[in-house]
Structure formats: C-alpha cells, structure tokens
Amino acid sequence: TESPFLIVPTLSKPEIASQFTLTIYSSAPIDLRRLEDAKNAVLSGEWTKENAGGCHLHSDPFCSGEDSTWKNNPKYHLILKGQGKSKVKITLSRPESSWKKQIAKDAVGCMLGMYIVENQGRFEQNKDKTINPKEFVPFNEYSEELELESHNHGYVIVPATYAAKKYGSFILSVSTNVEFVFKPY
C-alpha cells in the first residue's frame, strides 16, 4: 500500500510508560519519521448511550426535546499556539471490525462527520458557527485540512455519526505546523 500509515505504540492501560522497539519488515523501501509530539496528537473516544447525538439534523429547528441530541456529542478543545493562520489536519477514524455489523444494518446512519466550531469562550451549541462543511462520508476515516486562525479560545471539534444512537469507539487526530493544546472539552 502506498498510503502513509500512522503507527501509535500503546499499552492497555493509560499513564504507563515503557521502552519499546519498533521493527518493520517491507519488500519495498520505506520512509519512517517520528512526528513531533507538540505538533501531532491522537485522542480516542467513544459514542455511548449518553453522547451518541448524531448530526446537526438532531437539533433545533429540525427537532426538539428528547430528540434534540446533537449537543450531546463528544467535544474536543483545540487551541493553536502561535500567531496568524496555521495549517491543520484533523482526522476522525473508527476501527472497521467493531463497526462492521452496525454499518451493514445502517450504512447511512453510520456515516462519519465532524463539526469544527470557533469557540466563543464557551461552547456555542449553534451549528451555524461551524467553519467546515457539514459533510458525512460512508468510510471509516474522514479528514479535514484547514487553515485556522490562532486565538485564545480556540476551536471545538465535535465528531458525529449521521444518525443518533450509533455506539462505538473512534479516534480523533490532529496534525499542525505549530504547537497546540488538544483535550476533551
């Protein structure tokens, strides 16, 4: 395969450090580079019964009350350090094996997308403040490449499935040309 791969060595429990050796075998030449921790980050998350809110159509004015679930989706805070605009790549992915059955039953409802909202000091639940297109894709990975302005309040990233009540794990990664802070919101 000619696509780039991201290798993230992990342990089964958080906050445990260990030495390791990475060995790669290939029949073709490879280019291996260590990514700068301060400019690349990966966080794992999960849509659960409490936070699987679906896309913006699960909010006012499209629905109300208990059906208005978009605001419940997981949220992540991204603050870029530096001045001016920075190139940012944000990727939402999910493990194919654990989503396979749900996708077979409801491919449209399981489509992936994300909202990138300019933070106004507190999370505005107004989906109209998103700075990226509201696109959803029927794949296990979705990326946005943007130029974002650095400012104190940063951005809120809201990963979502198209339909609400789609449960499972996901991975959100950010790569930039500047240092940044990336954490659950």
- Tell me the per-residue pLDDT of 62-95, one tens digit each, with 9 for 90 and over: 888 888 899 999 999 999 998 899 999 999 999 9
- The predicted pLDDT at position 120 comes to 79
Spell out the residues 6+ positions from residue 168 whose beta carbon is closer than 8 angstroms to its own. 46, 47, 94, 95, 98, 99, 102
The predicted-structure confidence for 28-52, as pLDDT tens digits, reads as follows 888 888 877 779 999 999 999 999 9
Going by C-alpha positions, the residue among 71, 82, 87 that lies closest to residue 144 is 87
